[in-house]
Chains A and B, each alone.
Chain A
Amino acid sequence: GAVVSQHPSWVICKSGTSVKIECRSLDFQATTMFWYRQFPKQSLMLMATSNEGSKATYEQGVEKDKFLINHASLTLSTLTVTSAHPEDSSFYICSARALQGQYFGPGTRLTVL
């Protein structure tokens, strides 16, 4: 199947700093990518839908100014967690939509101290 990568796989940062997470579709082009967040022992929660060349669509309750999404090319979407705080510590997972289905990245573990 299609491959989606994320970088970094884990990151630890200090409170108040910003963190950028990259999501790449390695062998296909994705006009649409999705960002999810998952807290321990909970299910995935959709944060936003990222469309190449246009603004992202955020789910209700997700702050667009805190979670900046950029989808500048057909193979790359980035999520920037601005002014991160300990409550933003979570597992962030991206997904890319291909012709044959939807594929998920391996996730990025963010820990904010």
Chain B
Amino acid sequence: DAKTTQPNSMESNEEEPVHLPCNHSTISGTDYIHWYRQLPSQGPEYVIHGLTSNVNNRMASLAIAEDRKSSTLILHRATLRDAAVYYCILRPHGSSNTGKLIFGQGTTLQVKP
């Protein structure tokens, strides 16, 4: 499974944008980039995913580098409820893929009021 590298922790001020980086230099052509987040004592929550083009949804935006070797999750306006561990995960697509998600260490985001 292709690996991802994320900073251990980041800080942000409330109501400011947050850019969470992820490096995945060994990504393959069939790997989708998924982002999940986990609040304390809860299961992970889906945030966003993409393949090549940038993606937007109500929670966040995903900016994918042209060579796909890195991506950035963008929270446009951080709130205290966004404080969580954010995981960037590569998931291969194809009939032979079981769909399992392998979690790295993630980035712990702290949001200061």
B:22-78 near A, CB below 8 Å: 36, 38, 41-46, 49
Chain B interface, DSSP helix/strand/loop, else mixed: loop
Q: Which B residues contact A (CB, under 8 angstroms)? A: 36, 38, 41-46, 49, 85, 87, 98-106
Which residues does chain A contribute within 8 Å of B100, judged by CB atoms? Answer: 34, 46, 49
Q: List 6 A-B contacts (CB under 8 A).
A: A4-B43, A93-B44, A95-B43, A101-B46, A106-B43, A107-B43
Q: Is A64's beta carbon under 8 Å from chain B?
A: no
A104 x B45 contact (CB < 8 A): yes
A104 and B46 alpha carbons, distance in the complex (Å): 8
Q: Give the total number of A-B pairs whose CB atoms are below 8 A apart.
A: 49
A95 and B87 alpha carbons, distance in the complex (Å): 15
Q: Which A residues contact B (CB, under 8 angstroms)? A: 1, 4, 6, 32, 34, 36, 43-46, 49, 57, 91, 93, 95, 97, 101-107, 109
Which residues does chain B contribute within 8 Å of A6, judged by CB atoms? Answer: 43
Q: Which residue of A lies closest to B108 (CB)?
A: A41
B43 x A93 contact (CB < 8 A): yes
A105 and B45 alpha carbons, distance in the complex (Å): 9
With both chains docked as a complex, state the minimum distance between the C-beta of B104 and any C-beta of chain A, in angstroms: 6
With both chains docked as a complex, state the minimum distance between the C-beta of B89 and any C-beta of chain A, in angstroms: 10
Q: Among A32, A93, A104, A109, which residue has the most Cβ atoms of chain B within 10 A? A: A104
A43 x B43 contact (CB < 8 A): no
B104 x A43 contact (CB < 8 A): yes
* For the complex of A and B, 3 pairs with smallest distance between CB atoms: A104-B43, A44-B103, A43-B103
- Known: A43-B87, A43-B105, A43-B106. Is A102-B99 also a contact (CB below 8 A)? yes
Q: A34-B100, A43-B85, A107-B42 are in contact. List 9 more A-B contacts (CB 8 A).
A: A43-B103, A43-B104, A43-B105, A44-B103, A46-B100, A102-B46, A102-B101, A104-B45, A106-B43
In the complex, which of the residues B36, B46, B99 contacts A32, with contact meaning CB atoms closer than 8 Å?
A: B99
A43 and B38 alpha carbons, distance in the complex (Å): 10
